[in-house]
Every structure is written in structure tokens, then in C-alpha cells.
Amino acid sequence: MTPSGINIEELIPHRGRMKLIDQVVEVDEETAVTESVVKENWPLVEEDSVSPLILIELVAQTAGACVGWKEAVQEGLDIEGKTGWLVGIKQALFYLDKIPLNARIRINSKKSFSFENYYEILGVAKIDLQVVGEVKLQIVRPD
């Protein structure tokens, strides 16, 4: 599904400089695609670039948009006051040393496994057509 008029702040709790996603491109129950432009105020910025470690947070926020969409849009739940996730990094591969400021990063995040409140998420980060990172997360949402 391509969202029309979905505000990312309705889907994830991140605000200020920790809200890294600029736009939700696609979202459904299993996947989300987001875009972000690297900005000077992001965490992990040094001089004219950002550490590729930021891709882990981008994948997590993109996965959060997927779960938030299901809860907010489909189930009509309010994310305000919801508990956060416990996130483990199962694997992270980075294919460049630095990501330049103003680069547009597209994240595709997909649930590869889920059981009750446990998810495994596979995320792929691209700049233009180049894959710049792959991240596998384990997520638990405490009740």
C-alpha cells in the first residue's frame, strides 16, 4: 500500500533529532519502505558525513512504521503512551565507511519471522540503486 497523507509521527514515537525518517513510501502489515535525507543534526554526524551505524536506527524506525501503521491505521490504537521495544542486532553489514550529508537513503524493512510480540526484521538500505547496508534485528515488545 502506498500511504497518502500518513504522518510518520503518528506511527513512531521518535521526535526531534532522533526522528530520522522523512517519508513513508509504502507500508503494510509485513513491510515498510521509507526515505530519509542525511542532515547535519543527526546523531553520529562528523564533519560532512554520518557513520553507517545510523542504518541500524533507520531500519528500526522503518520497522516501527510498519508496526505503528498496523496498530494506528488498521486497529485504531493510539501509539501515545505505548511501551518501547527491546531491540537486538542479529547482524549488520555496511558497504561504505561514511554516508555523506544530504544523501537520500531508502530503507526497505520486512518482517521475516513473528510470534506473538517477537519479530525478526530484515532491512536493506540503498542510496540510489547501491545497497549500502543490510541489517537483521530481533525485536520484542513487552506487554
Rounded CA-CA distance 23/13 in Å is 15
Rounded CA-CA distance 81/30 in Å is 23
Q: Which residues contact 22 (CB under 8 A, 6 or more apart)?
A: 8, 34, 35, 36, 37
CATH number of 8-140: 3.10.129.10
Task: Answer whether 10's CB lies under 8 Å from 78's CB.
Answer: no
Task: Answer whether 141's CB lies under 8 Å from 117's CB.
Answer: yes
* Nearest partner of 6 among 60, 54, 52, 71, judged by Cα: 71
Domain segments of the chain as ranges: 8-140
pLDDT at residue 100 in the model: 97
pLDDT at residue 72 in the model: 61
Per-residue pLDDT of the chain (143 residues), as tens digits, is: 445 556 666 666 666 677 899 999 998 888 999 999 999 999 999 999 999 999 999 999 898 887 776 666 655 555 555 556 778 999 999 999 999 999 999 999 999 998 888 889 999 999 999 999 999 999 887 76
Compute the residue count for the chain: 143
Q: pTM higher than 0.75 for the full model? A: yes
pLDDT at residue 140 in the model: 86
pLDDT at residue 2 in the model: 47
